[in-house]
């Protein structure tokens, strides 16, 4: 069986360094808000190219904390609208609704899978406060058009960078393109911890200070509470692990790109469609999505032949029970993506022999 994502092998590639880092924390007797977090935050901010990095419990919290901070700072209030792609992972939208803000769903482009920037302007109203872009599948979602719209209408640009650590737009990394970005280090992400982890990056000091307080009960000084915050802190052990894996992130992303290049150049079955191939710098291939109108049959065929695949995602947010209000909303492009998408195995430890076998199977599917 070729597994979709062999996390155990991904971790073992850096086993010694990771073990040393974990032992250091265990033996230090200091498990939260210590030197490991300080170090990871500094290194990750530098890597992304942001002035500030605030670590937190997970990616959903990172996005939620950004919006919450904008509310605390008086920049957003209940009922304000946030533009977001309709075909994202549910967490982007949960962060909005949890803050009593209103997600305005915009269709993606079928060829890029990212938000269709030509459809954004008609959704902007006097209540719009931000555009949240999602670099889905590891592909850069930013366009100059989006940046211009944010300036023209005075909107915040928030990036959901959960799937795109290391991706670039020109010389800048995703996560440094807008006003603030949420990052997830869920184990399966390109930069993955050994458990839940997340971070916010921003150049704005006021926002950074507010996010840091909100993630720590609303406190910036022990036993003094400025906001009704939450507890969303990153364990020292996870920070230490992330600091190790950050050093290898670019090399790991290059390995993903090599697998992706092989897939892109060799998948030739007319029943299969691929999204537009971006230059490697604009895609860190968190996933390798392919499209087939007979997706479920294709998945079964690959399973029968020893290849594990996943669907990202089987049900779009507007068809989920938790968002019943949207059940009659028609988003045909989003629905088509969800009906036809299949993710092939891709990771820093997938070798070209396995990729060859997968391509041969796909090319003989009929
Ligand atoms: C993983 C993910 C999140 C949430 O991150 P968690 O750390 O799992 O909370 C948010 N947005 C996107 C696009 C994701 O893929």
| Residue 35 near residue 340, CB atoms below 8 Å | no
Whether 163 lines ligand 1, by a CB cut-off of 6 Å, is: yes
- The residue to mutate among 186, 235, 238, 242, having the most atoms of ligand 1 within 8 angstroms of its beta carbon, is 186
Span 33-38, mean pLDDT? Answer: 98
Return the structure tokens found at 241.
């692990």
| Residue 66 near residue 98, CB atoms below 8 Å | no
Could you report the per-residue pLDDT of 108-161, keeping only the tens digit for each?
A: 999 999 999 999 999 999 999 999 999 999 999 999 999 999 999 999 999 999
Return the structure tokens found at 306.
């020893």
Return the structure tokens found at 282.
């604009």
Could you report the per-residue pLDDT of 184-233, keeping only the tens digit for each?
A: 999 999 999 999 999 999 999 999 999 999 999 999 999 999 999 999 99
pLDDT of residue 79: 98
Distance 161 CA to ligand 1 centre (A): 8
State how beta strands 128-134 and 81-85 pair.
Answer: parallel
C-alpha to C-alpha distance for 39 and 45, rounded to whole angstroms = 10
C-alpha to C-alpha distance for 169 and 173, rounded to whole angstroms = 6
pLDDT of residue 46: 98
The percentage of residues in the chain with a pLDDT greater than 90, rounded to a whole number, is 100
pLDDT of residue 69: 98
- Alpha helix (H) ranges present in 104-156? 144-153
- What is the overall mean pLDDT for the chain? 98
Which of these, 343, 334, 306, lies nearest to 3 by C-alpha position?
Answer: 306
Could you report the per-residue pLDDT of 336-365, keeping only the tens digit for each?
A: 999 999 999 999 999 999 999 999 999 999
pLDDT of residue 113: 98
Kindly give the number of the ligand 1 atom that is closest to the alpha carbon of 58. 7
Number of other CB atoms surrounding residue 325 within 10 Å: 8
Distance 339 CA to ligand 1 centre (A): 21
Number of other CB atoms surrounding residue 286 within 10 Å: 26
Cα 159 off chain centre by:
9
pLDDT of residue 184: 98
Span 44-50, mean pLDDT? Answer: 98
Number of other CB atoms surrounding residue 258 within 10 Å: 17
State how beta strands 341-344 and 198-202 pair.
Answer: unpaired
pLDDT tier at 256, thresholds 50, 70, 90: very high
Counting Cβ atoms within 10 Å, is residue 327 exposed (0-12), middle (13-18) or buried (19+)? Answer: exposed
pLDDT of residue 210: 98
C-alpha to C-alpha distance for 197 and 185, rounded to whole angstroms = 5
Span 272-281, mean pLDDT? Answer: 97
Number of other CB atoms surrounding residue 110 within 10 Å: 17
Whether 57 lines ligand 1, by a CB cut-off of 6 Å, is: no
Whether 91 lines ligand 1, by a CB cut-off of 6 Å, is: yes
| Residue 191 near residue 246, CB atoms below 8 Å | yes
Distance 55 CA to ligand 1 centre (A): 14
Which of these, 317, 312, 316, 321, lies nearest to 335 by C-alpha position?
Answer: 316
* Residue position matching structure tokens 């800048």: 172
pLDDT tier at 287, thresholds 50, 70, 90: very high
Cα 91 off chain centre by:
10
Could you report the per-residue pLDDT of 80-120, keeping only the tens digit for each?
A: 999 999 999 999 999 999 999 999 999 999 999 999 999 99
262: CB partners within 8 A, 6+ apart: 352, 355, 356, 359
pLDDT tier at 241, thresholds 50, 70, 90: very high
Distance 194 CA to ligand 1 centre (A): 15
Whether 59 lines ligand 1, by a CB cut-off of 6 Å, is: yes
pTM, 2 dp: 0.98
Counting Cβ atoms within 10 Å, is residue 67 exposed (0-12), middle (13-18) or buried (19+)? Answer: buried
C-alpha to C-alpha distance for 329 and 335, rounded to whole angstroms = 11
SS3 142: coil
Span 226-255, mean pLDDT? Answer: 98
Whether 88 lines ligand 1, by a CB cut-off of 6 Å, is: yes
37: CB partners within 8 A, 6+ apart: 55, 234, 236, 239
pLDDT of residue 311: 98
Span 276-303, mean pLDDT? Answer: 98
Span 159-172, mean pLDDT? Answer: 98
Distance 88 CA to ligand 1 centre (A): 10
State how beta strands 102-106 and 81-85 pair.
Answer: parallel
pLDDT of residue 88: 98
| Residue 175 near residue 161, CB atoms below 8 Å | yes
Distance 185 CA to ligand 1 centre (A): 8
Specify the residue with its C-alpha closest to ligand 1, atom 7.
59
């Amino acid at each position: 069986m070729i597994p979709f994502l062999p996390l155990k092998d991904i971790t073992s590639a850096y086993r010694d360094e990771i073990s040393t880092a974990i032992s250091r924390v265990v033996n230090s007797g200091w498990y939260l808000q210590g030197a490991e977090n300080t170090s990871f935050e500094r290194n990750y901010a530098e890597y992304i190219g942001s002035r500030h990095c605030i670590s937190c419990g997970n990616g959903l919290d990172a996005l939620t904390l950004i919006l919450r901070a904008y509310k605390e700072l008086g920049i957003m209030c209940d009922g304000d609208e946030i533009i977001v792609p309709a075909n994202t992972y549910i967490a982007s939208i949960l962060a909005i609704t949890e803050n009593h803000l209103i997600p305005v769903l915009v269709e993606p482009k079928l060829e890029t899978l990212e938000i269709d920037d030509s459809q954004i302007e008609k959704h902007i109203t006097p209540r719009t406060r931000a555009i949240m872009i999602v670099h889905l599948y590891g592909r850069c979602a930013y366009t100059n058009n989006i940046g211009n719209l944010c300036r023209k209408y005075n909107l915040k640009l928030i990036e959901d960078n959960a799937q795109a650590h290391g991706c670039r737009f020109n010389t800048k990394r995703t996560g440094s393109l807008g006003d603030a970005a949420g990052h997830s280090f869920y184990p399966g992400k390109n930069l993955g911890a050994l458990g839940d982890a997340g971070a916010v990056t921003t150049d704005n000091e006021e926002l950074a200070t507010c996010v840091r307080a909100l993630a720590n009960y609303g406190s910036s000084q022990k036993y003094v509470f400025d906001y009704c915050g939450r507890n969303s802190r990153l364990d020292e052990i996870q920070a230490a692990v992330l600091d190790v894996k950050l050093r290898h992130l670019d090399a790991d992303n290059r390995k993903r790109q090599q697998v992706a290049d092989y897939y892109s150049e060799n998948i030739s079955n007319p029943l299969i469609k691929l999204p537009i191939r971006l230059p490697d710098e604009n895609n860190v291939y968190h996933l390798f999505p392919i499209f087939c109108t007979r997706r479920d049959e294709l998945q079964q065929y690959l399973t029968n032949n020893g290849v594990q695949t996943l669907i990202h995602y089987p049900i779009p947010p507007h068809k989920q029970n938790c968002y019943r209000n949207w059940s009659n909303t028609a988003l045909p492009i989003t629905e088509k993506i969800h009906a036809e998408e299949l993710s092939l195995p891709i990771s820093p430890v997938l070798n070209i022999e396995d990729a060859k076998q997968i391509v041969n199977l796909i090319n003989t599917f009929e």
